[in-house]
Amino acid sequence: MQDERIDMPQRETDTENRAEHPRMIECENLVKIYKTKDIEVVALQGLDLIVESGELMAIIGNSGSGKSTLLNMLGGLDRPSAGKLLVNGQDLLKFNDQQLIRYKRETVGFIWQNNARNLIPYLTALENVELPMRLTGRKNRRNRALQLLDMVGLLNRRNNKLSQLSGGEQQRVAIAIALANDPKLLLADEPTGSVDSRTASTILDIFRELNAALGVTVVIVTHDRQISRKVDRVVAIRDGRTSSEFVRKKSYAEELAAIDGIFGTRDDSHEELAVLDRAGRLQIPAEFIQALGLKGKNKVKVELEGNRVVLYAPEEK
């Protein structure tokens, strides 16, 4: 951080919020259908997801997988077509327009990949962070904004405007803006998509530090699987459903110690788990389908061998 520091107080209600709502996000059989005059597009088709309060996790998926649709619904920017969606114990399907506005102001903070959506170019970094607090009439805005800029390492850049900040610095200001009104849930849409790998690593470290210091739940949506190095759990979405999870085998601190100062990708840091939905459906990874020669086929032989379920390509007749 900088030489000039401002102490950031812990949020007093973090422990209470976790006790009251141990699950920050609950999605059950979530469906989203976009309709036009001539066509229907099913973006989510029965998605299930649980995110615990205080968790730092990522959602990955290829373009068209449904991850952005899910993020927009979690952020209150879009409504589900069917299913169950609870955030911090609140049922988003039952919200009226006024409740939805309040939810977006008080419960959730959003960080876009495109900084033009995060920042107003003619305002300084400090003024940008103050703006959400002005809209809600919050007092002590200046001190709070300075605290947040200090937390993201930009206190000495507080009087700089958008054109005077690098892409990584702009994204860090965007993180401070998203935290301005003390959200319980922080959503980030491809936050490292437009920066180099070193800057991306710095931004992800900031998310981890904020998660630990404030207890805020952080959900990062990305197509980059390498982000799993910095989070504890990664959920993969394919064809509008959760297909698998990558769960960290040991703590991030233990992993860093094992690296002994050499930064690199550790393929054994996470264990991949396929997701079994409530109907017993399972998505088989594409590389397994390819290896078994199942591509283009709709049947597979399933046998129980001891405590294992084994899949075979059916015999040709």
pLDDT in tens, 65-91: 889 899 999 999 999 999 999 999 999
Which range among 119-128, 137-146, 157-166, 244-253 shows the weakest confidence by mean pLDDT? 244-253
What value does the mean pLDDT take over residues 253-274? Answer: 51
Top CATH class, 14-283? alpha beta
Tokens of 107: 């419960």
- Of the segments 11-15, 209-213, 239-243, 279-283, which one has the largest average pLDDT value? 209-213
**Which part of the chain has CATH 3.40.50.300?**
14-283
Burial of 90 (0-12, 13-18, 19+ CB in 10 A): middle
Burial of 31 (0-12, 13-18, 19+ CB in 10 A): middle
Q: If pLDDT is split at 50, 70 and 90, which confidence band does 227 have?
A: confident
Which range among 19-28, 105-114, 226-235, 308-317 shows the weakest confidence by mean pLDDT? 308-317
Q: If pLDDT is split at 50, 70 and 90, which confidence band does 110 have?
A: very high
Is residue 297 pLDDT above 90, yes or no? no
Q: 56-60 and 82-87 as β-strands: parallel, antiparallel, unpaired?
A: unpaired
* Closest alpha carbon to 127 in 169, 180, 184, 188: 180
Which residue, chain included where needed, has tokens 């029965």?
Answer: 46
| pLDDT given at position 259 | 41
| pLDDT given at position 160 | 95
What value does the mean pLDDT take over residues 113-126? Answer: 87
Which residue, chain included where needed, has tokens 């989070």?
Answer: 231
Is residue 95 pLDDT above 80, yes or no? yes
Q: If pLDDT is split at 50, 70 and 90, which confidence band does 220 have?
A: very high
Q: If pLDDT is split at 50, 70 and 90, which confidence band does 301 have?
A: confident
| pLDDT given at position 245 | 76
Q: If pLDDT is split at 50, 70 and 90, which confidence band does 54 have?
A: very high
Phi and psi at residue 293, to the nearest 5°: 70, 35
First to last CA, the chain: 68
Sign, Cα dihedral of 134, 137, 141, 145: negative
Tokens of 124: 């300084």
Is residue 261 pLDDT above 60, yes or no? no
List of residues 6+ apart from 115 with CB closer than 8 A: 162, 167, 170, 171, 174, 194
| pLDDT given at position 14 | 45
Tell me which of 211 and 13 has the higher pLDDT.
Answer: 211
Average pLDDT, the chain: 81
Tell me which of 153 and 247 has the higher pLDDT.
Answer: 153
* Closest alpha carbon to 247 in 275, 225, 269, 224: 269
